[in-house]
Amino acid sequence: MSKEDAFRNLIAHCKEYGFIFQSSEIYDGLSAVYDYGQNGVELKNNIRKYWWDSMILLNENVVGLDSAIFMHPKTWKASGHLDAFNDPLIDNKDSKKRYRADDLIEEHMEKLENKIDREVEKAKKRFGASFDEKMFRDTNPRVIANREKIDSLNGRFVKAMNNNDLAELKQIILDYEITCPVSGTRNWTDVRQFNLMFATEMGSTADGAMKIYLRPETAQGIFVNYINVQKTGRMKLPFGIAQIGKAFRNEIVARQFIFRMREFEQMEMQYFIKPGTENEWFDHWKNVRMKWHKALGLGDDNYRFHDHEKLAHYASAATDIEFNFPFGFREVEGIHSRTDFDLGQHQKFSGKKLQYFDPETNESFVPYVVETSLGLDRIFLQIISAAYHEEEIQKEDGSTDSRVVFNLPPVLAPVKLAVLPLVKKDGLPEISRRIMDDLKYDFNCQYEEKDSIGRRYRRQDAIGTPYCITIDHQTKEDNTVTIRYRDTMEQERVNVRQLRNIISEKVDMSSFLRKLDHD
């Protein structure tokens, strides 16, 4: 099955099993806005907890915050978002479709990279074991020609983006004969800047109303509270403030399901440091965050860093952690060295001192900041796309069957165990209820007695439940049950008293964090 088909199936699966619904679906939906259903919200909460606990519990000097979505409009003037939080947009006059000019150029570069990769794959097959990939890449004329094209295109692109040169962006699109994916033509409008912030009004009378914005990042809520937290928490540098919350961006092109949304959630941490230590802390948080991702067990090869060449208006260094989504490597988290830009700007615009007094040197200064910024919806998509599998199963009688299984990291699974009486009689439901009543305080359990046991297993596989417990007639005699493991489908007979330990070993957040901290 192609990656596109698998991705389409994943989206349908998310709806069928209560993970993600289109917002306002009964009114035909709202573009790039989604709701999380009964299983989605559990998975999302578990991801949230993994992030929050790893920040707050594992770092004595990181504290939390929950700031408001609405902020004083001057915030966005100071932060630069009013003037610079723009995307360059371009329309195709034939298809009437709107694109981000930078996306069109980046996609073109990706196509050229793919051409090179295909050339290498072909040669690999032709030459077999004697193939020297490096030599081939260095000497093959077609590879060299495409590499040169990419390098020169990238050079022009980075320069144009850094200089906000919209005419040059359009010229690049024309020079490289980039066509509209829908109409196939090169009939483009000029490139224009488009501010991504949503605006609304606060106040009850028309003339007294104030134009305010839905925050496009949670970070500014942290910056404007820097002095509150530092003073009331008696925090010493370096220290961090972590926050999880909604952010809003009027994305020009919103696609790939929950990858790029107009309303989404961020998990951000601003780490306040002494000027001059930013490189050290930037490297530190890069490593810590990559380790956090890899601990999820989604495959180390699926991650890479991508250093920014075009820096955001606030950054002195920036890298993305990218994950191999079904549509290629894409950003899931940004790590940015933001210097004293934000605090400096808020100090200037508010007239309030946002400085730190260092008792060791008797000096006051505006702290520097390194931030880690992860999209909660994006990591949700990363996890479900890595976990979704359609499998052929060989049955004992030689026939085959199929199942859809979500191999979610057990610690994040929405339901940790299903409690299933083999039949709806002979006292088995009552015993099952007693087991569930005992375990429900520790784990999210689900009780199911309808349909054959096989169908119930399939339903639990489809939502990623790592353990199914089956209560049968033998349970009445010796207090044992069968435990079935989602990934291997193996079954084992265990005593009811062992259940809590077996299950906690894989699903307990504190054990998971302990491993993360000590590895």
Q: Which residues bind ligand GAP (CB under 6 A)?
A: 217, 219, 249, 251, 260-261, 264, 266, 268, 331-334, 371, 373-375, 377-378
Q: How far is the CB of 251 from ligand GAP (least distance, A)?
A: 5
- Cβ-based nearer residue to ligand GAP, 30 or 404: 30
Q: Minimum Å distance from CB 266 to ligand GAP?
A: 5
By beta-carbon proximity to ligand GAP, the closer residue of 42 and 268 is 268
CA distance 237 to 355: 11
Specify the residue, 146 or 339, whose C-beta has the smaller distance to ligand GAP: 339
Minimum CB distance to ligand GAP, residue 139 (Å): 38
Helices H / strands E in the chain, number of each: 18, 23
Give the residue nearest to ligand GAP (CB): 375
Least distance between ligand GAP and beta carbon 235 (Å): 20
Q: What's the min distance (Å) between Cβ of 222 and ligand GAP?
A: 9
Q: Which is nearer to ligand GAP, 85 or 443 (CB)?
A: 85
CB 332 within 8 A of CB 374: yes
Q: In terms of CB distance, is 250 or 480 closer to ligand GAP?
A: 250
456: which 2 tokens?
Answer: 């119930």
Strands 263-273 and 239-248 turn out to be: antiparallel
Cβ atoms < 10 Å from Cβ of 426: 13
CB closer to ligand GAP, 219 vs 317? 219
Q: How far apart are CA 70 and CA 202, in angstroms?
A: 9
Q: Taking a C-beta distance cutoff of 8 angstroms, is the pair 219, 225 a contact?
A: no
* Least distance from ligand GAP to the Cβ atom of residue 321, Å: 8
Give the nearest distance from C-beta 397 to ligand GAP in angstroms: 47
Rank residues 243 and 465 by Cβ distance to ligand GAP and give the closer one: 243
CB of 99 to ligand GAP, least distance (A): 16
Q: What angle, rounded to 10 degrees, do the helices at 376-387 and 38-56 form?
A: 120
Residue written as token pair 């991650």:
303
CB closer to ligand GAP, 248 vs 443: 248
Nearer to ligand GAP, 321 or 420 (CB): 321
Q: Of 333 and 461, which CB lies nearer to ligand GAP in the complex structure?
A: 333
Which amino acid, one-letter code, is at 485?
Y
CA atoms within 13 A on the CB side of 418: 27
Joined tokens for residue 183: 């109409």
Q: How far is the CB of 217 from ligand GAP (least distance, A)?
A: 4
Helices of type H across 217-371: 219-223, 226-232, 278-294, 341-350
The number of angstroms, rounded, from the C-alpha of 274 to the middle of its chain's C-alpha atoms is 29
Under DSSP, the state recorded for 479 is S
Angle at CA of residue 96, ends 152 and 27, nearest 5°: 120
DSSP state of 115: H
**3-class DSSP state for residue 217?**
coil
> Can you tell me the distance from the alpha carbon of 296 to that of 323, in angstroms, rounded to the nearest whole number?
12
How far, in Å, CA of 168 to CA of 199, rounded? 30
The least CB distance from residue 213 to ligand GAP, in Å, is 14
Minimum CB distance to ligand GAP, residue 117 (Å): 25
Return the number of the residue (264 or 457) whose C-beta is nearest ligand GAP: 264
Rounded Cα gap, residues 383 and 245, in angstroms? 20
What letter represents residue 253's amino acid? V
Please report how many Cα atoms fall inside a 13 Å half-sphere around the Cα of residue 64, on the Cβ side.
Answer: 14
- Any idea what DSSP says for residue 446? E
